[in-house]
Amino acid sequence: MTKLPRQTAIALVAASAFAAVSASAFDLPHWLGGKSATPVITASTNLQPQADVPNTVPLADARALVPDYREIVKRFGPAVVGITVSGMHKASAEEAGPAGNDPFCQFFRGIPGLPQGLGQRGGSQSEPFSGQGSGFIVSADGLILTNAHVVRDAKEVTVRLADRHEFAAKVIGADPVTDVALLRVDAKQLPTVRLGHASEVEVGDRVLAIGAPYGLEQTATQGIISAKGRSLPGDSAVPFLQTDAAVNPGNSGGPLFAGNGEVVGINAQIYSRSGGFQGLSFAVPIDVALQVKDQLLKTGKVEHARLGVQVQDLTQSLADSFGMASPDGAVVSQVSPHSAAERAGLKAGDVIGQVNDTPVRHSGELSSLISMAQPGQDVKLKVWRDHGWTTLNARLGALQDDAQAQANLGDQADGTPQIGLALRSLSKSELHELGVQQGLLAQGTDGAAQRAGIQEGAVLLAVNGKPLASVQELRQQLDKHPKTLALLVQRDGQRIFVPVNLG
């Protein structure tokens, strides 16, 4: 229901009062503050009370009314900050501009002066960069939340308040998995936002974003929550809030306010084929961000749990084939060796329908529940198998950040054959951009690999016909002391098997 303008409301009340004085029984609607179903009797009449009449005017939910955006900006805008960063980094596909058919673009992309990514530079040379983002103060003694990608590789971070005071900021920690970072500035008695709960907002609720799009500080835009629990390609650990509030490069890390003025999310990504806003943006729920913040504040790092499965959504046809009544759940398509899932007895074809007491309707919900749990935590999995439900117990393992996992297989001291590769796992967004489910990026080559023609920047997809999802899987093949390895390599969109002689 639309909130009536103040002048209109006053006019209606005045007209009502005038009607009462002129010897008419008139009942103010409940939504204007009247006493529902109670007749109004004027002093100048002897009319008898009327029978109760149902109030046909629908009651307005306070959350459906237009929020006082002016008051939200005035009260909490001073706690929203602009962030500038500079440093040196080696670009990956995550910094590339909108590429191919991938419309999911982080807000850092497209800022003037930023590197434009692997696709335009070759991706192996470090060079200076600078960028802009947003953030918000969560404690008066200088704690600030923003996105991890805003401060990634930054050597210098500067925070600018709404009153134009500037402070050098220290990065306490950043978590690439959830894209949340925590900063601290040396200041006291700073303005702060009021934190809410993302679980309390619903689709259709009005929201307000404040940030610094394209460096234009203290810019406010409004919209609604258009979806909840959205799982994005490469970001399955976060159940994003989806909104149509206009956000652009530079808004990244800024707060998303609910209509009551409480922060319910951190603006993190947009859906765009142009690099600018096209009607869809995504925010990290504040509940997730605060959980990350507490770990960063305590230890400077965040631990995420790992079950060790690849899952997909359950469709109606799959549900029918499994004998399930409804297509709710996450289908296990692959179980990783030596993982918590394998130890718990999970198999490909199992459908996970519940984790502890929380139902799982989509695969993204399972990924989020597991990722935000703690390594070593025991969970009960409700699993559909052989046309019936069973319960499995799993002790979760630890998720090593794929974007940071590195290994050098060129210097083996235990007699294991040397292959001459410096490798790292591909990030989730890199996997999505390349259109592969797993792979390792060659950051350096030497020895046998170099002689075989494998160059820096190549992506290793499989070894001896087996998919490569981790450096450890390649180590296991090398531990067998083979004379040759057949590596499936992808470069410039082409795939080829390369024999590597280790003899």
pLDDT of residue 61: 55
Residues 280 and 333 in one domain: no
CB 490, CB 434: distance < 8 Å: yes
In 3D, which of 87, 82, 104 has the Cα closest to residue 253? Answer: 82
Residues 124 and 239 in one domain: yes
Residues 325 and 445 in one domain: no
pLDDT of residue 81: 97
Residues 383 and 420 in one domain: no
Pairing relationship of beta strands 421-425 and 406-408 according to DSSP bridges: antiparallel
CATH number at residue 479: 2.30.42.10
pTM: 0.65
CATH number at residue 261: 2.40.10.120
Residues 433 and 418 in one domain: yes
Residues 298 and 309 in one domain: no
Question: Between these two residues, 453 and 34, which has the higher pLDDT value?
Answer: 453
Exactly one of 92, 252, 281, 429 is catalytic; name it. Answer: 252
Inter-CA distances, 310 with 177, 215, 307, 322, 444, Å: 17, 40, 9, 18, 29
CB 396, CB 389: distance < 8 Å: no
Q: Which two tokens stand for residue 75?
A: 């009260």
Residues 369 and 349 in one domain: yes
Question: Between these two residues, 70 and 271, which has the higher pLDDT value?
Answer: 70
Q: How many domains does the chain have?
A: 4
**Residue 218 phi/psi, 5° resolution?**
55, 50
Residues 113 and 237 in one domain: yes
Residues 258 and 114 in one domain: yes
Inter-CA distances, 465 with 471, 477, 483, Å: 16, 11, 16
Pairing relationship of beta strands 206-211 and 466-467 according to DSSP bridges: unpaired
pLDDT of residue 285: 95
The amino acid occupying position 165 is H
Residue 1 lies in a domain: no
Exactly one of 92, 134, 179, 287 is catalytic; name it. Answer: 179
pLDDT of residue 246: 92
Q: What residue has token string 């951190």?
A: 266
Q: Is 197 a catalytic residue?
A: no
Q: Is 252 a catalytic residue?
A: yes
Pairing relationship of beta strands 143-146 and 351-355 according to DSSP bridges: unpaired
Domain around 374: 304-399
Three-state DSSP at 357 gives coil
> If you average pLDDT over every residue of the chain, what do you get?
79
Residues 337 and 205 in one domain: no
Q: Is 149 a catalytic residue?
A: yes
Residues 171 and 223 in one domain: yes
pLDDT of residue 409: 56
| pLDDT tens-digit series, residues 459-471 | 999 888 888 888 8
**Residue partners of 363: CB distance under 8 A and separation at least 6:** 231, 236, 311, 312, 313, 330, 331
Residues 175 and 188 in one domain: yes
Exactly one of 149, 304, 362, 432 is catalytic; name it. Answer: 149
